[in-house]
């Protein structure tokens, strides 16, 4: 008997390991032939993390952003030991594996091993999109998923197992979440409040254990103090140009399974936090169709909130289908008087076919970029090498997130966004969405004009801190000293008399 248990444990451990490796490879797949981040937001947070590391405590006094500083702190910590820009490509896949482990751990406890394993596969199937984001990218909304899951699962364990001390853990996860991604915190906190309202008797009996939730007043106070209007709570259409069909993005099969899982968990009185959680994006997406605004989070983010909330429910739905099939097989065994060997063969044959068919359906078109906005390879090895040269050249920068008037580098707009994260030198036009018309005109005039135009910008009192020019063409001006020329990349030092 002991030998059989060891074999079962080994088989399950092997299956889980294979599933986690599969998740890692699926999420990492876009980086098989590209070693830099794809998403603009990833580069933005890279720059913020580098600035945080450079400034130290000064970052918190000058640029402190309570809703994402926790995420940037994680990146800054990684950068202390590893080259952050080069290892960033692994972070989405590592993050997906951590989320998978959390899902498996709790669904294994709540149901069984197979339910936990199914959840890992379903998570791996989630599509990514540069607007909606997703597991392919490591941004605050994706980094927040781990703590969203931990909060909701821990909260349910505290109530269902009558263990109010677990509220300490739930409060801790919520607290961390508040400093990683604001809108995720608001959505999960609303879910928590509604869940506690449904369990008001338990709350009333154990009110003394809820004191940890008072620590949530700290991030709440900071967020509210820094919000001049309702803009962080009510999100309009903004730059949203495309409405998405959630059935297509999440998948019709997974959506049907989520509906079945919702009904099944309702009958079994399980996963109430997730049944509440999934209704918040659904209601907001419906609201958006009529009013073109959402509450607590943006339209794009609610699409991903829906998918994250649906994964455990889809898992339960699929698991329930297998349980129904198993029950029917037992009745068939009695009716046809089948022997045990025949039953086992039939059982595993049918389950195998169901799993293979579902696997093919949910992963069909996973890498179809016609569904997504195209992943853009913004820079290459030559750019990286040139920017590293610039990083080590001359005096170290005092800060890399400065006002454009204090920038040290003027570069063409397609690389200016990535310049600070690699060279650790501030660049004009680092954010094309936020850049003023004056900045855009200055960059255009410098790179499209003649030497007199370039001199005018380089010597401008407005851009009094400019020291370098980064270009893909030779700039033959007497006040520009070439300091780097390799593989079509040119860096010039601006000579000021």
pLDDT tens digits, residue range 163-199? 888 888 888 898 888 888 888 888 898 999 999 999 8
Q: Which of 281, 305, 329 is the last residue of a domain?
A: 305
The Cα 447–Cα 441 span in angstroms is 10
Q: What is the pLDDT of residue 436?
A: 63
pLDDT of residue 79: 86
Q: What is the pLDDT of residue 446?
A: 87
429: left (phi over 0), alpha (psi -120 to 50) or beta: left
Residue 423 resides in a domain = yes
Output the average pLDDT for the chain: 82
Structural domains counted in the chain: 2
pLDDT for the residue numbered 339: 63
Q: For residues 417 and 47, give the distance between their C-alpha atoms in angstroms, rounded to a whole number.
A: 9
Give domain status of residue 81, yes or no: yes
Please say if the pLDDT value at position 386 is more than 70. Answer: yes
Cβ within 8 Å of residue 124, ≥6 positions away: 19, 22, 23, 26, 27, 96, 100
- Tell me the C-alpha distance between 189 and 361, whole Å: 34
3-class secondary-structure state, position 497: coil
Q: Is the pLDDT of residue 229 over 50?
A: no
In this prediction, what percent of the chain has a pLDDT beyond 70?
81
What is the enclosing helix (H) or strand (E) of 100?
helix 91-110
Instruction: Quote the tokens at residue 163.
Output: 């263990």
Q: Are residues 419 and 289 in the same domain?
A: no
Range of the domain at 178: 2-238+267-305
pLDDT at 202: 84
| Residues 6+ positions from 351 with CB-CB distance below 8 Å | 322, 325
- In-domain check, residue 157: yes
Task: Kindly state whether residue 171 falls inside one of the protein's structural domains.
Answer: yes
Tens-place pLDDT, residues 472-490 = 888 888 888 889 999 889 9
CA atoms within 13 A on the CB side of 131: 18
Q: What span, in angstroms and rounded, lies between the C-alpha atoms of 93 and 138?
A: 9
Same domain, 292 and 406: no
pLDDT, mean of residues 113-130: 90
DSSP, collapsed to helix, strand or coil, labels residue 464 as coil
Q: What is the pTM for the complete model shown?
A: 0.87
DSSP state of 271: -
Q: For residue 244, tell me if it sits in a domain.
A: no
Would you say residue 353 lies in a domain?
no
What pLDDT, on a 0 to 100 scale, did the predictor assign at position 46? 87
Residue 481 falls inside a structural domain? yes
Instruction: Tell me which range, 60-74, 110-124, 283-297, is most confidently predicted by mean pLDDT.
Output: 110-124
Q: Which stretch of 30-34, 66-70, 228-232, 310-314 has the lowest confidence by average pLDDT?
A: 228-232
State how far the Cα of 182 lies from the Cα of 7, in Å rounded to an integer. 46
292 and 154 share one domain:
yes
Q: Are residues 298 and 404 in the same domain?
A: no
Look-up of token digits 């010597």: 459
Do 105 and 225 sit in the same domain of this protein? Answer: yes
Q: What is the pLDDT of residues 30-70, one digit of tens each?
A: 899 889 898 888 888 888 888 777 766 545 544 455 557 78
Amino acid 207: pLDDT: 77
Q: Are residues 288 and 414 in the same domain?
A: no
Across 220-229, 297-306, 402-411, 426-435, which has the greatest mean pLDDT? 297-306
How large is the average pLDDT for residues 344-369?
79
The SS3 of residue 134 is: coil
Does residue 284 sit in the same domain as residue 431?
A: no
**10 Å Cβ neighbour count for 245?**
9
Query: What's the confidence (pLDDT) of residue 11?
Result: 83
> Which of 253, 287, 305 delimits the end of a domain?
305
- Higher-confidence residue: 27 or 217? 27
- Closest by Cα among 111, 49, 96 to 400: 49
Regarding whether 64 and 187 lie in a shared domain, the answer is yes
Q: Pick from 198, 365, 205, 331: which is nearest to 271 by CA? A: 198
Domain boundary among 305, 332, 364: 305
Judged by average pLDDT, the poorest of 237-241, 250-254, 437-441 is 237-241
For residues 281 and 415, membership in a common domain is answered with no
pLDDT at 17 over 90: yes
**386 shares its domain with 488:** yes
pLDDT of residue 1: 44
Q: Give domain status of residue 6, yes or no.
A: yes
Q: Are residues 124 and 225 in the same domain?
A: yes
pLDDT for 27 equals 93
């Amino acid at each position: 008997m002991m030998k059989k248990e060891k074999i079962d444990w080994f088989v399950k451990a092997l299956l889980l390991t294979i599933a986690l490796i599969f998740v890692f490879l699926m999420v990492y797949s876009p980086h098989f032939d590209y070693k830099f981040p794809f998403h603009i937001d990833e580069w933005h947070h890279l720059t913020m993390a580098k600035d945080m590391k450079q400034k130290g405590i000064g970052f918190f006094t000058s640029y402190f952003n309570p809703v994402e500083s926790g995420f940037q702190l994680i990146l800054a910590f990684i950068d202390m030991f590893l080259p952050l820009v080069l290892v960033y490509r692994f972070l989405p896949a590592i993050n997906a594996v951590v989320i998978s482990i959390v899902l498996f751990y709790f669904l294994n406890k709540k149901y069984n091993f197979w339910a936990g394993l199914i959840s890992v596969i379903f998570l791996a199937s989630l599509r990514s999109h540069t607007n909606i984001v997703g597991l392919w990218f490591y941004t605050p909304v994706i980094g927040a998923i781990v703590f969203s899951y931990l909060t909701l699962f821990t909260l349910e364990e505290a109530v269902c197992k009558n263990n109010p001390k677990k509220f300490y853990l739930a409060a801790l996860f919520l607290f961390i979440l508040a400093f990683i991604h604001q809108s995720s915190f608001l959505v999960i906190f609303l879910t928590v409040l509604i869940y506690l309202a449904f369990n008001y008797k338990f709350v009333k009996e154990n009110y003394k254990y809820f004191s940890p939730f008072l620590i949530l007043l700290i991030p709440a106070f900071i967020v509210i103090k820094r919000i001049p209007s309702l803009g962080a709570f009510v999100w309009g259409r903004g730059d949203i140009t495309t409405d998405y069909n959630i059935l297509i993005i999440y998948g019709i099969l997974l959506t049907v399974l989520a509906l079945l899982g919702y009904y099944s968990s309702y009958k079994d009185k399980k996963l109430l936090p997730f049944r509440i959680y999934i209704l918040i994006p659904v209601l907001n997406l419906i609201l958006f169709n009529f009013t073109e605004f959402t509450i607590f989070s943006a339209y794009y983010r609610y699409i991903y909130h829906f998918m994250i909330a649906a994964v455990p429910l889809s898992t339960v739905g699929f698991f329930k289908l297998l349980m129904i099939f198993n029950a029917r097989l037992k009745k068939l065994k009695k009716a046809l008087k089948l022997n045990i060997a025949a039953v086992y063969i039939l059982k595993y044959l049918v389950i195998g076919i169901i799993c293979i068919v579902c696997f093919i359906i949910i992963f069909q078109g996973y890498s179809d970029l016609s569904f997504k906005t195209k992943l853009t390879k913004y820079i290459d090895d030559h750019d990286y090498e040139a920017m590293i040269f610039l990083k080590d050249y001359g005096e170290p920068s005092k800060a890399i997130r400065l006002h454009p008037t204090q920038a040290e580098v003027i570069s063409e707009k397609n690389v200016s966004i990535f310049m600070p994260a690699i060279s650790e030198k501030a660049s004009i036009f680092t954010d094309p969405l936020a850049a003023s018309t004056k900045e855009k005109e200055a960059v255009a005039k410098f790179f499209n004009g003649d030497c007199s135009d370039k001199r005018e910008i380089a010597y401008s009192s407005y851009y009094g801190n400019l020291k370098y020019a980064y270009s893909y063409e030779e700039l033959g001006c007497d006040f520009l000293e070439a300091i780097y020329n390799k593989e079509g990349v040119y860096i010039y030092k601006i000579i000021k008399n």
